[in-house]
Structures are given as structure tokens and as C-alpha cells.
Amino acid sequence: MNQQGVHYFPGHMQKALRALEGYVKVVDLIVEIVDARAPFSSRNPLLDQLAGNKARLVLLSKEDRADPVVTKAWLDYFKQQGIPAISSNLTEGKFQKALTEATKPLVAKKREKEARFAMKKQPIRVMVIGIPNVGKSTFINSLAGKKKVHVGNKAGVTRAEQWIRLGEDFTLLDTPGVLPMNYPDGAMAVRLALLGSMKEEVLPTVELAYALFGYFRENYPHALAARFGIDDITEADADETFYQIAKIRLLYEGSEPSHTKACYLLIKEFKDGILGRFSLEVPNA
């Protein structure tokens, strides 16, 4: 994959980061959402620092798009690190139980303190953080049982922080996605672009298609077989494969099968989850 660094830090992220610093002080729990397909690359070290010693839960989103074996390995990895972590398909909202379990001690502690000092019962304040497009707003809507905040499959949908009250026990803070200031490791940036967390303008689609092809060839050589009716790509050449896909899907430029159009198709189908369930990194890789 591309080894060149990527520098990308728009102004609204700088602003969001400063705002988040203020919120950390007033929240009880930080839910850090990462994409299950690349839980390492989709963690933001800046947010990690910001969270300090606050109670924290790592939520691996989009498990329905990830390789289940690899997701299990990631959950074990976080467990070994002593970091509470759960995985979920946020669009199905089946994580409520796990979340309630994970937050039980926190709630109990808060209620006990309130009782001791005869304080009024306050909701647990949960701040939801993560890089763009990992599902922060989807998580909140799912908990709320209705659409309270905007979601969309592209980076930068949430632009400002917003508090949402959930019953008696919780108040959630939706936040805009924040990326690290730069990616000295170009391969990490490529993964984030494939997950839709980095804007399409930052990394060209054709380059992404080559990177994805190379990754599939090494890790999931059967990935394209079912969808495009082509052979295992272990020995295949990227250009030849793109050419083949273009012919199969009738993607032409004039009378020639279009290599570029095939690249766009491949990336779109990967992003839409049509190709299947794939993880882009494994623990300690």
C-alpha cells in the first residue's frame, strides 16, 4: 500500500477537538467507537490522550461488515489490554444489553454517591467519540429508538456537539468525527479511506483500488470470485483483473473496457459492503 504520509486536518476538527477537551471534564463515561474492520487505524491517539483516566468503553462498530474471526481476535486483544470492549452492528441496535452491563458499576457508583450526599439523581453523561463515519450518530439514534441526530455514509456528517437525553439514566453527547493531524503511515490512511472515514478528495479512488486488490490478493484471494465470477486472484495481476471486471460489468470508455471505471466500481462495492465481510487489519500486525 502507499507508504507516503497523508496530512489532513480541516479547521472544524481543530475546533471540535478543543470543545471535546471541555466536555471530558463533565462526563462520566467515554464511549470510543472504532470500525471493527480496522480497530487500530480507526482509533485516534489524540482522542485517546484527551480521554485520560475517564471510564471508557471501546465499541467496535460495523461488525456485520468485518471478518468475524478477526473481530473476535480484536476483542481478545482489547481484553488483554484491560480495555472494556464490545462489538456490534449499530444499525440493529442489539448492543443495549452489553452497554447496560458495561455501565452498571458506573451507574451504581454515581447513585450511591448521590444517596450519600442527598443529591438529586442525575443522568450518567456519556460522551461518544471517534473518527468520522464510524457510527457515533447511528449509535445514539439506535439507543434513542428514533432518529435524533443525522447519519450518513461519508465523513463529516456531524458538525457540532449535541446532547441527547435518554430516559432517566443517560444523557449522550454526539460529537463530530476527529482524525489525527497527519498519517505518517500511508497504509493507515488508505484503510481509513476504504472505510469512508477520510474524504474521497484526500486519496484517489484508483490508488485505493490497487491497495484493496493487493490486500485481497494476500489475505482474501477468493474475495472477488463470487461477486464477479472470476478466479481466485492469488497469482493475478491488478490491471488484468480490473480489465476483466470492466468487461464483465460492461464498463467501457468508447470501445475499450475501462480500467478506471472498474476501480470505482470495486471501491464502491467494498464501501457498500456488497463484496462480503473483510477486515483490513489484525491485532499486532
Ligand X SMILES: Nc1nc2c(ncn2[C@@H]2O[C@H](COP(=O)(O)OP(=O)(O)OP(=O)(O)O)[C@@H](O)[C@H]2O)c(=O)[nH]1
Task: List residues near Mg ion by CB under 5 A.
Answer: 136-137, 157-158
Question: Quick one: which segment of 22-30, 95-103, 154-162, 206-214 binds ligand X (CB under 6 A)?
Answer: 154-162
Q: Which does 51 bind (CB under 5 to 8 A by kind): ligand X, Mg ion, none?
A: none
Cα separation, 209 vs 224, in Å, equals 13
Q: Looking at 44, 71, 103, 138, which residue binds ligand X (CB under 6 A)?
A: 138
Cα separation, 132 vs 43, in Å, equals 11
Q: Is 136 in the site for ligand X (CB under 6 A)?
A: yes
Query: Which residue, 70 or 131, has its beta carbon nearer to Mg ion?
Result: 131
Question: Quick one: which segment of 7-15, 108-116, 125-133, 256-264 binds ligand X (CB under 6 A)?
Answer: 125-133
Q: Looking at 105, 152, 184, 229, which residue binds ligand X (CB under 6 A)?
A: 152
32-67 b/e (C-beta count within 10 Å ≥ 16 → b): bbbbbbbbbbbbbebbeebbeeebbbbbbbbbbbbb
Q: Looking at 64, 161, 200, 269, which residue binds ligand X (CB under 6 A)?
A: 64
Query: Which residue, 88 or 258, has its beta carbon nearer to ligand X?
Result: 88
Grid cell 493531524 in the structure block, residue? 181
List the Cα angle 266/269/272 in 5-degree steps: 150
Q: Is 4 in the site for ligand X (CB under 6 A)?
A: no
C-beta nearest to Mg ion: residue: 158
Query: Which residue, 137 or 279, has its beta carbon nearer to Mg ion?
Result: 137
* Separation of CA 197 from chain center: 7
Total binding residues toward ligand X, as defined by CB under 6 A: 25
DSSP 3-state assignment of 226? helix
Question: Quick one: which segment of 41-49, 60-68, 75-83, 229-237 binds ligand X (CB under 6 A)?
Answer: 60-68
For 224, phi and psi rounded to 5 degrees? -95, -5
Q: Is 167 in the site for ligand X (CB under 6 A)?
A: no
Q: Looking at 151, 238, 245, 267, which residue binds ligand X (CB under 6 A)?
A: 151
Cα separation, 178 vs 28, in Å, equals 21
* Separation of CA 281 from chain center: 13
Grid cell in block for residue 144: 434513542
For 182, phi and psi rounded to 5 degrees? -150, 165
The binding site for ligand X (CB under 6 A) comprises 61-62, 64-65, 89-91, 130, 132-138, 151-153, 155-158, 176-177, 273
